[in-house]
């Protein structure tokens, strides 16, 4: 698979596990060393926070679906892929959380590609980087 296919496959699997409320499979897409930046009110979110939030949202069936629009590879090597996309999460109450995002996938020791970093982008930064 090329880097675009790896990134697209990860996004597809992420959306599928959310829609199926498959917490275990979803968390297998996330590195234990993950760091998420840019969420208002938080300096950084790590694996345990992500695990707990997903566990709650999946158990309560709070998310109807997630989707990604666009894919722009920024950098890649044999063990990491950095890309830009636009993420949307539709909650079961009808609200949508949508934002441009930078994602870093890392190929871990078990040869599984997992997200190791996410950074929510401002609309201005996303426009400058060519993703909106």
**Cα angle 49, 55, 61; round to 5:** 130
Tell me the backbone φ, ψ of residue 83, rounded to 5 degrees. -145, 165
pLDDT at 132: 66
132 vs 112: CA distance, rounded Å = 29
Tell me what pLDDT residue 3 has. Answer: 97
Give tens-digit pLDDT for 9-38.
Answer: 999 999 999 999 999 999 999 999 999 999
| Model pLDDT for residues 69-121, shown as the tens digit of each residue | 999 999 999 999 999 999 999 999 999 999 999 999 999 999 999 999 999 99
Chain centroid to Cα 48, Å, comes to 15
CB count in 10 Å sphere of residue 120: 16
Dihedral (CA of 12, 36, 95, 17) sign: positive
Cβ of 103: how many Cβ atoms within 10 Å?
23
CA-to-CA distance for 53 and 18, rounded, in angstroms?
12
pLDDT given at position 126: 84
Output the pTM of the full model.
0.93
In this predicted model, what pLDDT tens digit does every residue of 49-62 receive, in sequence order? Answer: 999 999 999 999 99
Give the model's pLDDT for residue 23: 97
Please report the domains of the chain, with CATH numbers, ordered by start residue.
3-129 (3.10.450.50)
Closest of 57, 33, 48 to residue 115, by C-alpha: 33
């Amino acid at each position: 698979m090329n880097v675009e296919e790896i990134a697209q496959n990860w996004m597809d699997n992420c959306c599928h596990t959310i829609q199926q409320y498959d917490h275990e499979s979803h968390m297998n897409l996330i590195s234990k060393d993950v760091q998420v930046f840019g969420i208002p009110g938080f300096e950084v979110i790590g694996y345990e926070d992500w695990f707990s939030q997903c566990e709650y949202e999946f158990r309560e069936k709070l998310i109807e679906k997630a989707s990604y629009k666009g894919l722009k590879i920024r950098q890649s090597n044999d063990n990491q892929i950095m890309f830009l996309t636009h993420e949307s999460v539709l909650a079961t109450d009808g609200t949508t959380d949508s934002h441009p995002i930078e994602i870093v996938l890392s190929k871990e020791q078990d040869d599984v590609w997992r997200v190791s970093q996410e950074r929510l982008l401002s609309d201005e930064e996303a426009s400058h980087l060519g993703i909106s």
